[in-house]
Structure 1
Amino acid sequence: MNWITKKVEEIGGVHKSNVAIEKLISCNDFEIHHKVSLDKDFCDFIEELGFKDFNEWIKTTTIDQIPIFTGKVCDYHKFYGFGEGEQSIDYLIELTDQLINSNDYIPFAEGASGDYICISIKPESKGKIFYMHHESDDEDDLYSVANSIRDFLNNSFKDNQDNDDLSGDLISGDFIDDYFD
């Protein structure tokens, strides 16, 4: 059992999304099409978890405090995959291209309230994981989550009572709008 499968099973497992996948492609094909070089761990992660959802919402600890959460955590549940269709990374790149530079960040998971979790492909922060508010308009609205995809998954846990000190509850919408104006 590889490190991804082991951790995913530990925190509740995943199921295939109910979204039609028009076409699957390999990480290598994605890299060629987008003229990028991705970390092997990230490719393995997406090839295993792409187009899947966790069976319940999951939290991960974060490096930065994300303004819409209490505590240094964030929620996520859905992974986008290499391919074509509404739950593909390519679809997300098109959707978020006006928000962030897809030459610098690749969104790969969905967080709370339609926010995104991205991996940096910028040379100075390559492989680091960031949280992006869905209405962000520049890199100032990116928050550091983990130093690698391994750290991101290894710092993930089920949302349960044992983690009250890391509650990560969403702050109300009125406060959210103030943070990102």
Structure 2
Amino acid sequence: MNQKLKSALTKIIDTEIVVSQKKDAYKSIHMIENVYGVDLPSDYKEFLLEYGGSFIKDNIMYKPIEITPITHKDGFDSIGGFYGITDDNYNIESVIKTYKDVLGKVLMPIADADGGDLLCIGIKGQYKDKIYYWHHEGEASKDGKEYVYLIANSFEEFILKFTPHQREQNVNLDDIELFLDEDLLKD
């Protein structure tokens, strides 16, 4: 993995959330490539081995190339966590099995997006090596292509898009109501 990518990952990965990797990670990557009949990008394979199953720090977000149905008005999106070769709910092998029929053979899930959506890597044809947002609210279409939005042209570009971003919280004080317990008012 190149130094630029590794440096970016150390800034965005939440190291306080520890994920245990499976011992046979190389075998798992080979199995995934066999299932799809592809050779995954080397930077993504290296990511799976070192950082797969990890989570992004709070207030670290990215700007997608194409606005998704859930993109905030500030233009930034966030993710929950990356799938990896783990023994927990973020095990990429089980996520692949769950979504393979829906996503077809052109996209493979790599991360959990907000609201049950997925971030995917393209693995065939014009989608190859690009990162997409898959919106689950629409009806499934052949190969999952109808409800995808381009996020980045490569895995490295995707990681480099992450930046610290604090969302503004606009609170209208007129909308706040206070209710005090009657016992409190007696004192």
- Name the TM tier (shorter chain): 0.7 to 0.9
- If each structure's helix is expressed as a fraction of its own residues, which one has the higher value? 2
Separation in structure 2 between the aligned mates of residue 44 and residue 60 of structure 1, nearest angstrom: 21
Partner of 1:93: 96
Q: Deviations over 1:110-136 (max 9, x none)?
A: 111221100001222210000012334
* TM-score, scaled to structure 2: 0.73
TM-score by length of 1: 0.75
Q: Specify the alignment match of 1:132 in structure 2.
A: 134
CA distance in 2, matches of 1:81, 1:12: 13
In structure 2, the CA distance between the partners of 1:52 and 1:86, relative to structure 1 (3 Å rule), is: same
Structure 2 CA distance for aligned equivalents of residues 86 and 23 of structure 1 = 17
Is 1:76 the counterpart of 2:82? The answer is no
| Secondary structure class of the residue paired with 1:107 | strand
Consecutive unaligned residues of structure 1, counting only runs of 5 or more, are: 168-181
Q: In the comparison of the two structures, how many residue pairs are matched?
A: 161
Once the two structures are aligned, what percentage of the paired residues are identical? 24
d(CA) in 2 for partners of 1:100, 1:80:
16
Distance 1:16 1:105 in 2: 27
Residue 106 of structure 2 corresponds to which residue in structure 1? 104
Point out which structure has higher relative CO (alpha carbons under 8 A, 6+ apart). Answer: 1
Who is 2:55 aligned against? 53
Task: State how far apart, in whole Å, the 2-side matches of 1:12 and 1:85 are.
Answer: 18
Corresponding residue number in structure 2 for 1:158? 164
- For structure 2, the 5+ residue unaligned runs are 170-187
Q: Which residue identity does 1:11 align to in structure 2?
A: I
Residues 29-74 of structure 1: CA distance to partner in whole angstroms, max 9, x if unpaired? 4323542211111111222221111232531111111121224432
**2:150 aligned residue (144, 163, 167):** 144
Deviates more, 1:83-92 or 1:142-151: 83-92
Query: 1:159 deviation in Å?
Result: 2.7
Query: Residue deviations 1:1-22, cap 9 Å, x none?
Result: 833331123336434456x766
C-alpha separation between the residues in 2 aligned to 1:14 and 1:29?
Answer: 28
After TM superposition, the structure 1 stretch with the greater mean CA deviation from structure 2, 57-66 or 120-129, is 57-66
Mapped partners of 1:24, 1:59: distance in 2: 31
Question: How large is the RMSD of aligned CA atoms in angstroms?
Answer: 2.7
Q: Deviations over 1:84-110 (max 9, x none)?
A: 653121211122234311x11110111
Mapped to 1, the partners of 2:16 and 2:53 lie a distance apart of: 9
Shift of 1:78: 0.4
Instruction: In structure 1, give the amino acid aligned to 2:6.
Output: T
Find 1:118's aligned residue among 114, 120, 124.
120
What does residue 25 of structure 2 align with? Answer: 25
1:4 partner amino acid: L
2:182 — aligned with what? Answer: none
* Aligned-partner residue type, residue 44 of structure 1: E
Structure that is richer in strand per residue: 1
The DSSP-based 3-state class of the residue aligned with 2:43 is helix
Could you tell me whether the CA contact under 8 Å between 2:136 and 2:147 is conserved in 1? Answer: no
Bigger CA radius of gyration? 2
